[in-house]
Amino acid sequence: MRAVVQRVLSASVSVDGEVVGSIDGPGLVVLLGVTHDDGPPEVAWMARKIWELRIMREERSASELAAPILAVSQFTLYGNARKGRRPTWNAAAPGPVSEPVYEAVCAELERLGATVARGRFGADMQVSLVNDGPVTLVLESA
**pTM (two decimals):** 0.94
Has 121 been annotated as catalytic? no
From the list 6, 74, 121, 126, the catalytic residue is 74
Structure confidence at residue 46 (pLDDT): 98
Select from 53, 34, 45 the least CA-distant residue to 103: 34
Q: Tell me the average confidence (pLDDT) per consecutive run of 10 residues in the chain, 142 residues long.
A: 97 96 95 96 98 97 98 91 92 94 98 97 94 93 86
Structure confidence at residue 76 (pLDDT): 86
Has 6 been annotated as catalytic? no
Structure confidence at residue 31 (pLDDT): 96
HSE of 115, CA atoms in CB hemisphere, 13 A: 12
From the list 75, 88, 121, 136, the catalytic residue is 75
Q: How many domains, in total, are found in the chain?
A: 1
Phi, psi of 22 (to 5 degrees): -155, 155
Domain boundaries, position 56: 2-83+90-140
Residue 21, domain CATH: 3.50.80.10
Long-range contacts of the stretch 83-92 (C-beta < 8 A, 24+):
91/35, 91/36, 92/33, 92/34, 92/35
